[in-house]
A and B are shown apart, each in its own frame.
Chain A
Amino acid sequence: MQRIGVFVCHCGTNIAGTVDVVAVAEALKNEPGVVHSAEYQYMCSQAGQDLIKAAIKEHNLSGIVVCSCSPRMHEATFRKTAAAAGLNPYMVEIANIREQCSWIHKDMASGTEKAIILGKAAIAKVNLNTPLTPGESPVTKRALVIGGGIAGIQTALDIADAGFPVDIVETKPTIGGKMAQLDKTFPTLDCAACILTPKMVDVAQNEKIRIFSYSEVVDVRGFVGNFDVTIKKRARYVKEDICTGCGLCTEKCPQKKVPNEFNLGMDNRRAIYIPFAQAVPKVATIDADYCTMLKTGKCGVCAKVCTAGAIDYEAKDEFIEEKYGAVVVATGFNPISMDKFDEFAYNQSKDVITSLEFERLTNAAGPTAGKLLRPSDGEHPHTIVFVQCVGSRCEACAEKGKEYCSKICCMYTAKHAMLTRDKYPDTDVYVFYIDVRTPGKAFDEFYRRAVEEYGVHYIKGMVGKVSPEGNKLKVQASDLIAGKQLHIDADLVVLAAAIEPDKSARGLATMLTASMDTNDFFTEAHPKLRPVESPTAGVFLSGTCQGPKDIPETVSQAGAAASKVIGLLCKDKLTGNPCVAQSDEMMCNGCSSCERVCPYGAITYSDKEFRMPDRTTKIRRVASVNPAVCQGCGACTVACPSGAMDLNGFKNNQIMAEVDAICKM
């Protein structure tokens, strides 16, 4: 028989306001196993915890029930208290009489009655509790960062700075991500490449960091501290360790008609290419979809001109298996497709472009060498219309746009407008907006400068239609403040397309068992208090994969994720969750039902020898659970037809006892 102590918390008036706590403590005194019952103002306070500790020692308690707030709030606190008094922490049960009782019921009588029943259920459960000891698992002191944009780069640098090895996996041939494509950055207007490329070089030169470019994660197994990851290194047909990045091959390659994705298809590259001059690693890659040699076996120019002998047409995809202690997701974003926005004529006119394309057009390393020229005829545009919120805050058009605000568009549009007016003062610049949202340090000042100093025409209203006519774009829009329709003959229309998570994120979330919201952004473990951790232990979030954000925010989140990873990797051992499944080998009939439902592959079968009552031995196939892999969902306990599988902490008889206690009126 257990010796149980019951502790009822007033929580000031939070509980005592609608629950007669004294009556609860009194009513629970006579429950089976209860030897001590007390109430106190604040059980979670130091004084309250001391009271529990003293009672454990004085009454030699073997289990305690705390009637207080949600176990999600203070279960850990009271477990620590119990442990400090020498009691096994898993002999503690919480009756949630605040969130699920006093806060929702107004009537003292029914509140008190319910609190007593919840207390009885917890007592019934703790009567059947057994001391549990968590298992320990080692920590692999290496981190994996998925995505090599600014988020991934910053996370990797910070982790490496603390002395832990880091691997970056990037699907593109180079790291750098979206930031490498940008021209200038708001609100300071420093050039993106000038602040990003030194960091890329730092990554390349850091001995602790390995870059797997042109690679992807194809399989993740294991758990926090012990992830087994398979990385597919796609064949780039160039030996990375030999290629010097001289670029001769990229000049001689005869296949010149390959759309250049780095410039968003606004110019062409060769079949063998280096995405941009400052690429890291600075290694050429052969695009197998376009290379004549790989497709027909006739060409081989690049191999002839390569003095280093780095070309290898026989290269195959490589699969690398590596162990990691922590995984950081930094998969980033993409602008949404403009195909469904027919009203803006994006697919009908080359002169309707997205903001990211505009970045490339104004970038000195872009297709026009930084000159703002119309993509259709190379003429200088005199009237430019910027349209904000294209697909963002699109409540009515969920099938083509996004409901959320993409957050960065107001600021980069102000930047584009300002830069245009700065370089070409003869240009008329119109910006159509729903709202201008500028929360951020020096953001509103920046926007005001665009309006006041640079004379950008900001017009509240949406563009209804863009129709190409001759070499002009007829823009039909409404001015909501003046209350009239506007018709503007524009030379260039720039659409601030909404941003969405990278397509690879969903597959990755499944592999990592990390959850996502309805927009495919990764969910954080707690929206306010744990914003850089995913609910899956050992998986961390960095950058726009978690939600739209600008560069400063991305870098801060990247640093925060790194510090969480460092905190994890500093530990030599992790204590596991002891509330895991356990199989009773005597009852198991080896049917595999549990193995089939286990999402973690924690259950294995083996042949074991059993002694029979007649002193013979018999070999039977029985299940066993790996406690380090089991996460304690309990799917197997229900699937097991013979009742051999049970879940520690939530045993069948414990839950039955709770049901009985609740139903015993």
Chain B
Amino acid sequence: MSQSPIDSYVMEMNRSLSGPRRLKADLLLEARDSLDDAAEAYREAGYHHTEADSMALADFGTVPEVAPAYQRELALAQARRTARWFVVLMAAQMFLADESWQSTGAWSDRDPAPLYLVFTRFWDYSQLIFVIVAVGALFTFGLGVRYVSAPWRFARVTGMVTLSVLGLKALASAVFLMATPHLASGMVSSISLTRPGSLLTLVGLAIWVLPNWYVAISAVRCIAISTARRLGTTDLSRRRSAL
């Protein structure tokens, strides 16, 4: 069975849009419904099936013309998702990390070096700043959309900042791991096939590391789908300003 022009159009839209799956499906479904309604109205007005489809598509606009406006909504949703999970991740791990250097047991018989304390204090404050920045981003893409005229402009920056902070976080974790006596070696030695606690250690590590990967993937998607080429410039706005 051959595809109708409307089927081909919706498939082309599907290929040209990227972003959260559910929102994209919802947008495409609504576009499809509208095209079907328009084609049906033209058929009822006496036009031939093929002609009615073509006229409905002409009214709807070409894919290069309308896709950027759809992509902006998708970029915004992806940025909101990235910012939301970034806030949750940073807040949770900041809370968990607060006492972690003391709870390692590495300092039970001696005091940490002053530089070590400076580093942990510096990292505590940095994490707090990251959480504040992430809350700011979340506001921009949530309630703040009323106060920001084109919030999708910040979607790409959100992805880049998130990735940069995650990189810094990985670096700080590596420094912490190396600077804390016996921490890395203790973790390695606690993972053994013969030790029943190994599984718990591995699950704990996964809980610590996997959310970082999830947020990093969301940030990469945010960057990829928010390019200037995808979001367009002023094509529809020009037509809108004609009002």
Does B associate with A? no
Which B residues lie at the A interface, using CB under 8 A? none
